[in-house]
């Protein structure tokens, strides 16, 4: 299994920075996400996560540091959260950190909505 790393200098301004590390179990999505081909971008991340859960089966720390994302990205984030929820239900150890900028009430509200929809608990952290 390989790590997935997409640095800011390698991607366009509307694509998030990705760091999925199988050795540490730390997965981070950061920046902005309003892609035209959201499915093409997120599918390898979702498949990586499913493989990690099946083959590595270690704790996951999932960091969401997005300050803007569109509806199609939101759907993919929800898909990821549902995978994490199932992993927890099956006995996996997952910690989700949702980062927000000071006074960004929209992002905080989004996090709360995702928690209600999925039944997951997030650690809300200011960055």
Query: What count of Cα atoms within 13 Å lies in the side-chain half-sphere of residue 56?
Result: 19
Provide the mean pLDDT of the chain. 95
Q: Are 92 and 83 in contact (CB under 8 A)?
A: no
Tell me the C-alpha distance between 10 and 5, whole Å: 10
In which residue are the tokens 């902005």 written? 32
Percentage with pLDDT > 90 across the chain:
90
CATH code of 17's domain: 3.30.750.24
Q: Answer whether residue 13 shows pLDDT above 70.
A: no
Domains contained in the chain, number: 1
pLDDT at residue 75, rounded to an integer: 98
Which pLDDT value is given to residue 110? 97
How sure is the predictor about 46, in pLDDT bands with cuts at 50, 70 and 90?
A: very high
Which residue range(s) make up the domain with 111? 4-126
**pTM to 2 decimals?**
0.95
Q: Are 85 and 118 in contact (CB under 8 A)?
A: yes
Task: Report, as an integer, the average pLDDT of 11-29.
Answer: 90
pLDDT, one tens digit per residue, over 64-106 is: 999 999 999 999 999 999 999 999 999 999 999 999 999 999 9
pLDDT score, position 79: 98
């Amino acid at each position: 299994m390989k790590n997935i790393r997409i640095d800011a200098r390698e991607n366009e301004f509307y694509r998030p920075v990705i760091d999925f590390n199988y050795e540490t179990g730390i997965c981070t999505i950061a920046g902005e996400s309003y892609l035209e081909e959201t499915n093409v971008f997120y599918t390898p991340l979702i498949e990586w996560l499913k493989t990690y859960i099946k083959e590595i089966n270690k704790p996951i720390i999932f960091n969401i540091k997005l300050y803007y994302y569109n509806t199609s990205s939101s759907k993919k984030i929800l898909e990821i959260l549902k995978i994490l929820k199932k992993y927890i239900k099956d006995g996996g150890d997952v910690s989700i950190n949702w980062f927000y900028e000071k006074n960004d009430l929209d992002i905080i509200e989004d996090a709360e909505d995702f928690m209600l929809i999925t039944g997951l608990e997030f650690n809300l952290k200011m960055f």
